[in-house]
Structures are given as C-alpha cells and as structure tokens.
Structure 1
Amino acid sequence: LFLLHILLLGEIRKTTHGTEIINGKKVPDRLMLYVASVQNNKGQHMCGGFLISEDFVVTAAHCDKLNPISVVLGTHNLEKVDDGTMRYNVTRCKHPDFNSVASGNDIMLLKLSKKVQLNNKVQPIQIPKGEMKVKDKAKCRVVGWGYTRAGGKVSNVLEMAEVTLTNRKECKTKWKSLKLDLPNNVICAGGHNAKAGFCKGDSGGPLVCGATAAGIVSFNRECDPNIPNVYTDVSKYVSWIKKIRTD
C-alpha cells in the first residue's frame, strides 16, 4: 500500500487520494473478478483498477506519478500472486487534460502487454455505453485493498463497502466550505456521517453501481465522514476510452 497525501489550493490540509475501505467486508472469491492491483517495479501494490476488456484496465490518472509498470489480475489476496499467470506489464495512457485531482479528468487507461485469458477468475466489468445519470441516494459499492479502519493496518485481502450516492449540488457546497471548487465530471458518495467508504491509501478502484463501473476512486478529505468522497464519472469519458482502445 502506498499512502499518498496531497495539498489542494494551500487550504485543505487533510485531503487525500485513495481507497482505505472503512467498515467493509471481504469480497468472495467468485465475485468482482475485474478488480486489478496496479503495481510498481518492486511488485508493490500502489493503486486499484478494473478490467474493462481483454487488454485494458482503468485506474486513476494521479496514480501515474507512482510509476506503475504492471497489473495483477485473478486474485483477491495479494499474498497469493503467480507472476507467470497473473502479472501483466502495461503501457500508460493518462488523460491529456489531467493536472491534479482538484482540476478533474482523473482517469488513466493501462494497456496490457498481452491479452488476458478470461476464465472463472478473471472477467471484465462493463462501463457505461454513454453518459449515465446516476440517481441521488442510489446504493453502490466501492472496492479496494488497503486499511480496514482509520489508523489500522494494511490488508492484503480485497474488501468492499456499500456507499450512498450524494447529490452533486450538496457535494459541491460541502467542498466549497473547504475552499475547493469541485471539478467537473465527478460523482460523490458518502457524507452525512457515513460509516463506510474509502480513505487514504490506494486509488483508482471502481465505484460499482449495479453491474457497471460508474466511477473511479479519486480523492476525499482524510476519513471525514461528513465530507463526500469524490469519484471520476466514467460515463463522461466513454468516447475518450473508445478512442484510446481503437488507436
């Protein structure tokens, strides 16, 4: 796990990237077969991601600075990795307009060096076919490896937590109070003293609504249960994803 803190606009001193799954539960081995561990040249987990086709994984653009060179697919336990069958080298395709999480466009595609053999351990997740309007207060799930509680220890086991989507206007107001203008093309979840969600740690994992990857973990305000977590809205980048995949 790579803990990554950021300072936004010189004002928010407790804003972090990442997914530390708070009050989550272990993901059964047969579920969520699309989740990827994005790793550095030492084979250390840095960010989450999710498989969308035989040769592409989606993650967060801010993970690029951590120099990811491979992804691991086909296991929920990072202590059980077979490099010969589970590890894939990647080429990074960061969104060209990404500068910081505060300005948005926090999305990156990772092209795998070879196509994944789809089986009962690895399957892609669908993404929106076009712009998708998620409903306020809808129940979705956030998935990731990382801490299971604030100040806790790293878990090598994949966890998930149910989160409630938050009205964008309300989310914008909450972040405005922290001197941050919410970027465009994001989805918010949590707030209202939420008991589950993500915190500092590994970013890039999916926000799953129904059977669709609707969001990508981007940033939050370090475990503050009253400030909504922020995810990149995948549906706003469908045409860009298609372009990269067909180039």
Structure 2
Amino acid sequence: MKVPGQFLLFHALICAASHEGSMQFMVSVQTENGHVCEGFLISEDFVVTAAQCDSGLKHVILGRHNWRNSNVKKIKISNQYKHQKYSDVHFGYDIMLLKLANKAPMGKNIKTIPLAERNMNLSANQECSVAGWGKTESTCGLVDDLRVVSVPIIDLNDCRQSWGGLPPNVICAGGKYTDKGFCQGDSGGPLVCNGKAVGIVSFNKNNNCKYPDVPNVYTDIRKHVDWIKYITIVNSCPL
C-alpha cells in the first residue's frame, strides 16, 4: 500500500484556493530544497506531521497561504519525535511531532488547531476538509498557494474491504465514491472535522491521485492524543 516518498492532494477541477483568513494552522515542512510535507501547529512550539516525512527536515514555513511569500515566517526545527512504533505506512503509526527552535508568533495569520478528543465521534458521509500544497494532478508539480477541499468520511469496514486490510488506528475519507482527495506532497496535513484535527494524511494508491476504487487513508489522531500530550509535556522546557 505504500507509495515512495511523499504523496498526496486533489483533482484540479474540484479543489479551490484557501482564503487567507482560514487554515492559519497550516505549516509547510521543508528540507533545504523546499517543501516536502504538510504539518499543522498545535502549540507555539510543536507541529504535527507524518512520520514518513522524517528525512532531512530543516525548518517550517508558516503565516501565509503562499509559502514563497516574502512575509512568511521561517522557524528551524530543533527536534523530531517520530512514533516509536512507526516503521512503514503499511503498519500504521504514521505520526511525528516537530519541536520548533523558537516559538511561533501567534496572531492574525498564525494560530493553532485543537486536536480531536479520544471520544469524538465521526460518522460515515460526514463532511470534513483537507488542505495542502501538494500536486493537483499526479503528473503536475506542487502548488505555491494552499488548496483545500471537502471530503466525506468513509465507513472503516468499507475502507478495509476496499483495501483488503488496513494498518491500525486509521481514518478513511475521500478518494472512493468521489473525485476529491489528496495527492503527492500533502503527507502530514490535517483532516479537519468540526474545527478539530482528527487525522493526518498518510497514503493513497500507487502514486495516483485519480482512483475511485479505494479511499484515502489518514492516521487517526484520536488514538494518539495521550502520546502527543506526553511528548509535548516532557519536551516543554523553556526555549
């Protein structure tokens, strides 16, 4: 089920640019060569992203929907905390925390997003959203302006049957039953339901953004709330 590298956003005809007053928690996770994954700000000094994005990370970009904007804020990454059970997206636990070297300047263009509680319910066909700077077509390049699209939650049993099995602790949304979903370059971005981050973009099928037969798969944040709290508390020494 794994696709090499980063994978993941939406069909060009159905995605739309996100307006500057929304999604202020979105973060571009970058190497020295530029954008590789998404992330989202959960506190002044911690970003959540996918464990698959752990190679060569240097800094994050936040504060603008176009990460090439001259007014963006660049903050170095001081530490990476990949889930100890992660080895491959095949086996789940595709989650990682990034400790920022300096606190993000909270304000109009930079805000945190609350995490879903462990007992938060999701229902099939519930509309949520996913955003990113990834490709809008499998054969196209990454985009500079943040894109966002609504995706429906897909029943986990349906998703499991479609894939022929799934890793533990995942959520399925978009892809199957719709032409909406994520694509390459969106790994680590949040699935947002009712204003809370409930999932992390993990994998799709065969590096292909246009496939109606299987859903997109996200790491279920609700299953990792205690782990996130532990990492952030233990590593919350003053900067």
Partner of 1:113: 101
Partner of 1:21: 10
Give the letter for the 1:164 counterpart: P
Q: 2:217 aligns with which of 204, 210, 230?
A: 230
In structure 2, the CA distance between the partners of 1:105 and 1:131, relative to structure 1 (3 Å rule), is farther
Give the letter for the 1:238 counterpart: V
Q: How many Å separate the matches in 2 of 1:52 and 1:133?
A: 20
User: Alpha-carbon deviation of 1:244?
Assistant: 0.4
Q: How many Å separate the matches in 2 of 1:47 and 1:15?
A: 13
User: Alpha-carbon deviation of 1:79?
Assistant: 1.8
Partner of 1:134: 122
Give the letter for the 1:150 counterpart: S
Moved more, 222-231 or 31-40: 222-231
User: Do structure 1's residue 69 and structure 2's residue 58 form an aligned pair?
Assistant: yes
Q: How many Å separate the matches in 1 of 2:174 and 2:23?
A: 22
User: Do structure 1's residue 175 and structure 2's residue 166 form an aligned pair?
Assistant: no
SS at 1:164 equivalent: strand
User: Alpha-carbon deviation of 1:20?
Assistant: 2.5
Moved more, 143-152 or 205-214: 143-152
* Preserved CA contact (<8 Å) 1:51 1:58: yes
In structure 2, the CA distance between the partners of 1:95 and 1:136, relative to structure 1 (3 Å rule), is same
User: Alpha-carbon deviation of 1:191?
Assistant: 4.0
Q: What do residues 61-86 of structure 1 show as CA deviations (whole Å, max 9, x unaligned)?
A: 0001x32121111011022144xx61
* Preserved CA contact (<8 Å) 1:19 1:205: no
Q: How many Å separate the matches in 1 of 2:128 and 2:220?
A: 13
Q: What do residues 7-28 of structure 1 show as CA deviations (whole Å, max 9, x unaligned)?
A: 64xxxxx787422222210000
Q: Which runs of structure 2 are paired with 1:1-247 in the superposition (5 Å)?
A: 8=2, 17-22=6-11, 23-42=14-33, 44-64=34-54, 66-82=55-71, 86-90=73-77, 91-176=79-164, 181-221=165-205, 222-223=208-209, 224-247=211-234
Partner of 1:3: none
Higher strand share: 1
Give the letter for the 1:40 counterpart: T
User: Alpha-carbon deviation of 1:200?
Assistant: 2.3
* Preserved CA contact (<8 Å) 1:39 1:45: yes
Q: How many Å separate the matches in 1 of 2:56 and 2:109?
A: 26
Q: How many Å separate the matches in 1 of 2:53 and 2:141?
A: 21
SS at 1:242 equivalent: helix
Give the letter for the 2:81 counterpart: C
Query: TM-score, with normalisation over the residues of structure 2?
Result: 0.90
Give the letter for the 2:134 counterpart: G
* Preserved CA contact (<8 Å) 1:125 1:212: yes
| Equivalent residue pairs, number | 228
Q: Which runs of 5+ in 2 are unaligned?
A: 235-239
Q: How many Å separate the matches in 1 of 2:176 and 2:61?
A: 35
User: Alpha-carbon deviation of 1:185?
Assistant: 0.5
